[in-house]
Amino acid sequence: MNPTPAVLAAFAGAVLTVGTYWLVESAGPAGWEEAVVESADRAQSSLSTEPGAGDDEQHHFVLRTASGERFDVRGRGRKLVQSEGTWLQVEISDVGREAQAIKVYGTRISVDSGGFGVFWAAGIGGGLLLGAVASCADAKRPIPAVASVVAGLGAGALPVLLLF
């Protein structure tokens, strides 16, 4: 029997498990905590005085919660203009402890937390799994080949799950 489908499925299981973790980390359950802005800077500034100008400003903050946790957050928009020492609320994911949003003057503003890796993980993991299933179609005994893909998928996911 050809081990290729099981190997592809094992890699797919590992990549898809990491992608699922990143997804839950960036969009999963979260809670709000008070935090202070330790440092704040603008990366890009629009000098235009037209309405809507400044909405493309990139802001970078270092936030520290009362418990001492530190978060690097990035976001775009005029509403993110905050100075050092300002207290605000930060939405922190329960899984992975990543900042998902900040609340400024009662308005929730999403911040970048590196969630773009989810799309890469889904694409690569899905492609590997599709390759494993396609190689099962070429097998002379498809039922054992599919069983090996399922076993490989679990064998790839298990070590990654144990890391978290």
Residues of the chain with CATH 2.40.50: 29-110
Tell me: pLDDT of 1 over 60: no
Sheet with 107-110, edge to edge strand ranges: 70-76, 58-65, 30-44, 87-93, 99-104, 107-110
End-to-end Cα, the chain, rounded Å: 33
- Residue 116: the pLDDT is 67
Cα–Cα distance list, 41 to 73, 83, 103, 127 (Å): 11, 8, 18, 40
pLDDT tens digits, residue range 57-92? 777 888 999 888 998 888 777 767 777 888 889 999
Rounded distance between C-alpha atoms, residue 126 and residue 105, angstroms: 41
Closest CA to 96 of 45, 23, 14: 23
Q: Please give the average per-residue pLDDT across 42-55, as a whole number.
A: 51
- Determine what percent of the chain is predicted with pLDDT higher than 70: 85
Highest CATH level, class, for 29-110: mainly beta
- Residue 47: the pLDDT is 46
pLDDT tens digits, residue range 20-33? 888 888 778 889 99
pLDDT tens digits, residue range 131-152? 888 887 777 777 888 888 888 8
pTM of the model: 0.65
Indicate the SS3 state at residue 24. Answer: helix
Rounded distance between C-alpha atoms, residue 159 and residue 153, angstroms: 11
Rounded distance between C-alpha atoms, residue 137 and residue 8, angstroms: 14
